[in-house]
Structures are given as structure tokens and as C-alpha cells.
Structure 1
Amino acid sequence: MEHAEFNKDLLKFLNASPTPWHAVATMKKRLDAAGFEELDEKDDWSLDQNRSYYVVRNGSSIVAFRTGARDASASGIRMVGAHTDSPCLKVKPNPELRRKGFFQLGVEVYGGVLMNPWFDRDLSLAGRVTFLDGHDKVTDTLVDFRKSVAFIPSLAIHLDKEANSSRKVNAQTDLPPVLMQVPEDDATSFNDLLSQQIVSESGIKVRKILGYELGFYDAQEAGYVGLRDEFIASARLDNLLSCYIGLQALLNTSGDEAALLVCNDHEEVGSVSSEGAQGPFLTAVLDRWCGSGKAKAIARSMMVSADNAHGVHPNYMDKHDENHGPILNKGPVIKVNHNQRYATNSRSAAVYRHISDELGLPHQTFVVRSDMGCGSTIGPLTAANLGVTTLDIGVPQFGMHSIRELIGTEDGFTMFRVLTEFMQREQVF
């Protein structure tokens, strides 16, 4: 895969994946096309060498792996981990609000949303809906309105003179989006609108909406930015970019060595769920794959936790340690925190640096300022659960947790090349 092709396909992936369920569905299609076999956790598994498999949990987390030519207990497994979820505004169970003829929906803030950028943006809506179909069967389906259906208008500065100096956002009262205008006697429910959307998208008859997990998202598609197209702007770069990089690396490996990609949901809210990185999903897959040889396999394995990093902002340079300010388009960022907010150690960092240097590709290092708190990733959670040597790394970006984020056009492809080599390398250590 060439550089331009990589970025063009990345834009397609981002635009097709407005929610974790859509992201996993998109990955499934690509894995199916590459000959991977889907496994069901409810069934017995019979895994063969030199085969490729994947398994999905809750529709929002996925583990895909190649068994390789040798037993994993003897060869170890080259693992890459990322997460499918991004901060957003989720629709509440009883969301309808009618005020002055405007139809609005109540929303719950999911994750550490940077809330101000959500105002005055064209918003669409997508997610999973569970319903009773025409045969009285409980069914799940994905919906994506795909067009601009909502807006959160700012209060005019004439009515809020302190907006530019001390504006605060109240998540309960300030964020309900406006969807349409309705007459005073209108009785349209949100469930009615969902039923119509399901029929429109899939033609399935809906008897009754039973539940949903839906989130608003930026209707503007991903695209290039910059006089020389140096950047890519998009929603959900944190962390669908890493999902895409890991997927492409797995698809482009030789398949000779045991390799695995895990993309977990719920990282943005702590990863404590059945399909989150602090849950049993990956461990369950490895138990069934490796059996009694799992401990030996883990001892020979390495996990690369891929999650975007904070690029040094030219307007806020003092927010970085002066020797550890990653620059966009200057290489992926090895993330170090000795208090174990990141799982990187000297050994795991050395593996990445060595491969990157062999390929003649750049890399950078990030350490948070000593007087600031440090975020975290699925890396420490996975390392603690499995006991596997782990590296935390990511592409540098601006605007993390905003409705629209920014990366350089060079860094994703650079990390893809290194991780592809990592996933097919015979000897990791």
C-alpha cells in the first residue's frame, strides 16, 4: 500500500465509521474480503495453523488474528491494540423535549468531551437500535442518518457579553440539539423517527422500538487541510486512526507469524465492561486459541497499544515538556510515564525504535510535564490483565476529544509501515 492510497482509504474508513458499531462493521467487511473466518463465542472453536480469524463482542469490539505457521506458545504473538469509541453526545432513553415549537433531544455526555466545539456544527445521528420486527423477533440493526439532522446553536454574544472570557457549558441545559420545528399538537416520538429510519435504510418492518445506543456526530466528512495538504481533519481520529492502522498492518502481514489486533469499546469511559480492555474479552480469545500454552505464548509476546498523542501546539507550547514536544508529520510518538499511566518500558520502546530505525523512519518520544496530570490508554490495563510486555505509542494530533481533530498526513503511514514489520517479524525480542 502506497502513502497516497493509505490516506485516501483512511478517509473512507473514517467516514464509514460514525460509531463503534459502524467501525466494527466496517472492519468486518474488510476482514471478510481478505479471507478471515468469523468465529462465534457461543460455538466450539477448531483453529488451524496458517489461518486467519476474527470474533466480535457486543458488535462494538473485535479481535482479529492470524495463527501463523508455528504454535503460538513457541513463537509468541505480535499484538496491536486500539479502541473503537470516541467522546460524543449520546441520546437519552426518554429524550424528547418540546420548547417553543422546537423538537430537541436530551443528551448525555460520553467520555471527556471538549464541549465548546460542538456548538454551531452540522450534526448527524447514528448507532445501534434494538427492536421487535414483523415476526416478533428481537433484532438489532445499525442506523446512520448520514445527513445533517441537528444543530446546537450558540447563544448570541449580545445576550452573553462574557462569552469570550468566562463561558461555561452546562451539559444538561446547554447541549440538547435542535432537530426540527413541530406544531403545538404534534405527538411525534423519537421512536417513530427511528422506525422510519430503519425502514428507509433496510426495509425492515418495525413493530416496536425496544432500545437504542445512539450518538450525534459531526456531519462534515474527513478531508485534507493545509495549503499543501499537510494535514487530515476529521471526527474520531482518536482513536479510529489507530484501529485503521492496526487493521491495515494485520491485513498486510505475510501471515507466517502469529499476530493479533484487538479494538475495544469503552476506553473513553474507563474500559470497565464485558467488551472493554479491562474486561475478559481478549483473555477469553487467547485462552481458546492457546489453551495450556497461553502462559508461554504471553512470555514471548508483545503488545503495541496504539492511541493518539498530544502534538505540541504552536499557540500553547508551554503545555509540553521542552524536550518532549511531538511535532505533527515528524513520526509516531512513544509515550512514557514512569507512574504507569503508559505501559512503555525500555525493552518495548527499544523494539519499536529498532524496527523504525531499520526502515529509516522517524519516531518521537512524549513525557507529560512533571507539573501536569497524565492521561492513559488500554496499554496499562492490557499489560496488567495479560502480563504482556507493552508499548504505548500513537500518532501526534491536535484537538484531542474535540468534535473535529487534526493529524499530519505522514505519521499514520509511517506507523503502519513499522507495525506491519512488527507483526510479521520472526523474533520480537
Structure 2
Amino acid sequence: MSAPSRFDRGHTDDLMTFLSASPTPYHAVANAAERLEKAGFRQVAETDAWDGTSGGRYVLRGGAIIAWYVPEGAAAHTPFRIVGAHTDSPNLRVKPRPDTGAHGWRQVAVEIYGGPLMNSWLDRDLGLAGRLSLRDGSTRLVNVDRPLLRVPQLAIHMDRNVTADGLKLDKQRHLQPVWGLGDTVRDGDLIAFLEDEAGLARGEVTGWDLMTHSVEPPAYLGRDRELVAGPRMDNLLSVHAGTAALASVAASGADLPHIPVLAAFDHEETGSQSDTGADGPLLGTVLERSVFARGGSYEDRARAFAGTVCLSSDTGHAVHPNYAERHDPTHHPRVNGGPILKVNVNNRYATDGSGRSVFAAACEKADIPFQTFVSNNSMPCGTTIGPITAARHGISTVDIGVAILSMHSARELCGADDPHLLANALVAFLQP
């Protein structure tokens, strides 16, 4: 068997490129698909009949991608090894009637998506990107990646108590960005502008899924450049690592006892309940169709699922130097300390003892350290797609990730070595 590929800081450089090119879930899956295409994968349509031949395939649906690699001679009951992740991040998203304004300012009406650190979106140069739905039924991606919008904060002279009392933001009144000047609000201005940006004729766009993003590029940070600051690390860091790991394993020529899979879903930040979310049928349908395309029966499907393991990879909390008391006193994950194993006995994470053994074996094989995260008992614990995947599909699932600071900020912070350490662990997991 070939040794796992070894990713290094070059992987982190590539992550920053991926983050910049992926301002929305739709761009993220398009970029992941492009990378998989270069590794020999091919797209299959859900409306077509599938064949059971070996090789790499992927399905795109909105902001989600499921990709898998069938080794030569794989049986119908061959189990899967899945890396799960999500493509969405908290942000400000454009409303159905976007054109608004007051007092000589032209503004864009936005809605709050997920749970962003809202103050991090203030006084920041924002671009606009997303998916345009056209009159002929097709879609077009658009990305205005330059300073276009800004949510201006109220000056301290008009909010004298902000330092003592803390910033208080009303989600409806205080987060509508400005994008120009004018006394007249004209319905259709924003979409007409985006039609011009995308090279489309006026009136061609009949629907849209648009969101803001910080246009400041990712960058190394610190005296020794040991940190990375950038947007959407939660959770494109895992999508990028999973894509790289799957492509590496597919190219290795190894005699794989499992079928490696990447499952990157949309809408995790809002509960995963959509046709592209982890709580929808997409993953189960794709895995079942893969079994049946190889001539399998329901019995083969049950056998395959029973032997399947999923690593749900999402960012977690590094110990914060200014708020260490908010963490569990005996669990202080550090940046550049290796990926984290997430544990919660109330099943907010799906990890149990046997799952820990699976992840420990992968890290040992990859020769990398790992850490454990558990929440402070006095604070509520977040959750991931892990428990959803385990419960919906009856699949053994382990929650892991990379420890970061400033989670859900417009600009997050991680260690420069952790992305490639995670990718190495994923390769070892997918190629046991």
C-alpha cells in the first residue's frame, strides 16, 4: 500500500487561494469540483442512470457536493469512509426586495444568516456574490470582489455609553449596508447592476441567492507567520482539506478496502434542514445509488452502511488567551497543536470511545498529534452535522476539526500548520 501523501505549508497557501475564490457555498462547491475534475473525477447528474464502474464521481446540488471514488473491483457491500463538512458561513444575505435607503443614502436590504458576530461586519469593505437564476432556467455565479458595500457604525460621539455598556445592534435597523448616494430608491437597481457585472441582458435574472463577504484577502499573521487570518474558515477549511485528501487518495493507486467519500453540505449554520443540508436525503440517496449501481441489493446497502465510518470535520474553539475561564479547565486546545477530537456526552457531538480509536489510529498513521475539545459544563455546547449524520443514516460518526479563534466572525484566525495536519489525518482515515 502506498504511504499517505504529506501536505505541508503549501497546502495552507492553497487554502488561502480557495477561501478567496469561494465567497459563497455555490462558489465553494464549484471550486471543489474543479479540483476533483483535475484529479480524474467526473460529474454525474442525479437525473441520469448511474453505472457501477470504478473511478471518481461527484454530484452537485446547489451549495452541496458529494464526491466518491470506487476502487477497482469494489463489491456492492463495500463500506464507505466519509469526510463530512459544510460549505456555508454566517453572513448578511440579500432580501427579495433589495433596493432601499433613506436620507440620501442608497442601501441594500439584508437578512442575518446563521449566528454571525455582528460587530465584525461593521466598518468593513464588503463585496457581493452568489447565484443568479435566469429566465431560461439556468444559473450563473456572480462575484463582485471589490469594495461595494459597508455597514457604517455609529460614531462614539452619538453613542457615548458604547464603551461602558457594550455595543447593542438591532438586526433590522443597524445592519443595512450603504452602497451609494441618491434620494430616490429605484426597484431593480441592484439586480440590474449584477446583470451588468455578469454580462447578462437586463431582465434576464428572475431569482437570486446573494450574500456579502469581506474583500480583505486571507493573510499570514504574527512575528513568525505562524497564524492565518481569513474569512469562512468555518467551515471551508474542512471542505478544502477533504477535497485535497480525496483527490490524493484517488491518485495513490492504493488497494482500498473502503470507498472514500467527501460530503460537503449547505445550511449547517441554520440547522441543516434543506435538500442540500445534512438533515436532508442527499447523502443517503447518493450512497444507496452507488451500491445499487454496482449491482447491490438492499441487503448489500445495509451491510455497506453498517461498516461505514464518517469523520464530521468542522472548526472548534482554541483556548482564548483573554477568556480562558470560558473553556473547560482541563481541555485547552491550542492552535498548531494538531486537529481536535470533539466530545459531548449529550450527543451534541457524535464522538464515542470507538470513534476516538478510529481517529487516533488515523493520526498515528499520519504521524501527527491530536487534541481533545469538550465544553465547559456551565456553558451550552454547539453542534455539527455529526449527530445528524449518525442519526439519519445509522452511520458511525466522529466529530473532529481544527481549533480556531473568532469563530463566526467575518474574519477568523487559525494556526498556519493545522490545515495541513488535518489534511494528512484525513488521508490516513480515507486510506486505512
TM-score, normalising length: structure 1 = 0.94
Q: What does residue 240 of structure 1 align with?
A: 236
**Distance change >3 Å, CA 66–CA 321, structure 1 → 2:** same
Alignment partner, residue 247 of structure 2: 251
Compared CA separation, residues 339 and 73, structure 1 to 2 (3 A): farther
2:407 corresponds to which residue? 400
SS at match of 1:207: coil
Partner of residue 336, structure 2: 329
Question: 8 Å contact 2:99–2:188 — kept in the other structure?
Answer: no
The equivalent of 1:160 in structure 2 is: 159
CA distance in 2, matches of 1:186, 1:127: 22
| Cα 1:298–1:70 shift into 2, 3 Å | farther
1:98 CA displacement: 2.4
Q: Name structure 1 gaps, 5 residues minimum.
A: none
SS in structure 2 at match of 1:18: coil
- Per-residue deviation at 1:213? 0.5
Structure-2 change in CA distance of 1:391 and 1:307 (3 Å): same
Worse overlay, 233-242 or 187-196: 187-196
Q: In the superposition, relative to structure 1, how do residues 101 and 355 fare at CA in structure 2: closer, same or farther (>3 Å)?
A: same
Aligned to 1:273, the other structure's residue is in SS state: coil
Q: Which of 27, 30, 35 pairs up with 2:40?
A: 35
**Aligned residue number for residue 195 of structure 2:** 195
Aligned length: 415
Partners of 1:300 and 1:235 in 2: CA distance: 36
Query: Which of residues 7, 18, 29 is equivalent to 2:23?
Result: 18
CA contact (8 A) 2:25 2:88 kept: yes
In structure 1, the partner of 2:320 is 313
Distance 1:382 1:37 in 2: 25
Distance 1:188 1:260 in 2: 42
Of the candidates 109, 112, 131, which is equivalent to residue 109 of structure 1?
112
Q: Which moved more, 1:148-157 or 1:96-105?
A: 96-105
Specify the alignment match of 1:63 in structure 2: 66
Per-residue deviation, residues 104-155 of structure 1 (Å, max 9, x unmatched): 01110000111011101010000001122xxxx2331011001110111110
- Describe the shift of the 1:185–1:383 C-alpha distance in structure 2 as closer, same or farther (beyond 3 A): closer
Aligned to 1:52: 56
**Could you say which residue in structure 2 is the equivalent of 1:96?**
99
Q: Deviations over 1:37-95 (max 9, x none)?
A: 1100001101213x11001112x100000012343555421110000000000000112
Q: Which runs of 5+ in 2 are unaligned?
A: 1-5
Displacement of 1:354: 2.0
For 2:51, the aligned partner's letter is: S
Which runs of structure 2 are paired with 1:14-413 in the superposition (5 Å)? 14-49=19-54, 51-58=55-62, 60-71=63-74, 73-132=76-135, 137-164=136-163, 165-184=165-184, 189-199=189-199, 204-253=200-249, 254=252, 256-257=255-256, 258-291=259-292, 292=297, 293-413=300-420
| Match of residue 3 from structure 2 | none
Q: CA deviation at 1:228?
A: 0.5
Specify the code of the residue in structure 1 equivalent to 2:286. Answer: V
| Cα distance in 2, alignment partners of residues 116 and 17 from structure 1 | 22
**SS state of the match for residue 138, structure 1?**
coil
Task: Supply the distance in 2 between the matched residues of 1:356 and 1:389 (Cα, whole angstroms).
Answer: 18
Whole-Å Cα distance in 1 between the matches of residues 261 and 185 of structure 2? 55
| Percentage identity across paired residues of the two chains | 40
Shift of 1:166: 3.0
The alignment partner of 1:278 has SS state of coil
In the alignment, is the contact (CA less than 8 A) between 1:73 and 1:296 conserved in 2? no
RMSD, aligned α-carbons: 1.4
> In 2, are the aligned partners of 1:83 and 1:264 still within 8 Å (CA)?
yes
Q: Tell me by how many angstroms 1:187 deviates.
A: 7.0
Shift of 1:183: 5.0
SS in 2 for 1:149: strand
CA distance in 2, matches of 1:339, 1:183: 54
Equivalence for 1:416? 423
Aligned counterparts of 1:61 and 1:10: Cα–Cα separation in 2: 19
| In 2: Cα distance, 1:246 partner to 1:198 partner | 30
Write the distance in 2 (CA, Å) between the matches of 1:231 and 1:368.
24
Q: Please give the alpha-carbon distance, in whole angstroms, between the structure 1 residues aligned to 2:170 and 2:283.
A: 37
The more displaced of 351-360 and 339-348 is 351-360
* CA pair 3-147 structure 1, distance change in 2 beyond 3 A: same
Task: Report the Cα offset of residue 360 of structure 1.
Answer: 2.6
Other structure's SS at 2:235 match: helix
| Counterpart AA for 2:205 | I
Alpha-carbon distance in 2 for matches of 1:266, 1:174: 25
Residue 368 (structure 1) shift: 0.5
Supply the distance in 2 between the matched residues of 1:288 and 1:414 (Cα, whole angstroms). Answer: 33
Structure-2 separation of matches of 1:188 and 1:321: 51
Rounded Cα–Cα distance in structure 2 between residues aligned with 1:359 and 1:180: 52
Query: 3-state DSSP class of the match of 1:171?
Result: coil
Equivalent position amino acid for 2:388 in 1: L
1:183-208 per-position Cα deviation (integer Å, ceiling 9, x unaligned): 54877622221221121xxxx43433
TM-score by length of 2: 0.93
Q: Distance in 1 between matches of 2:83 and 2:305?
A: 14
Q: Report if the CA contact (8 A) 2:338-2:371 is conserved.
A: yes
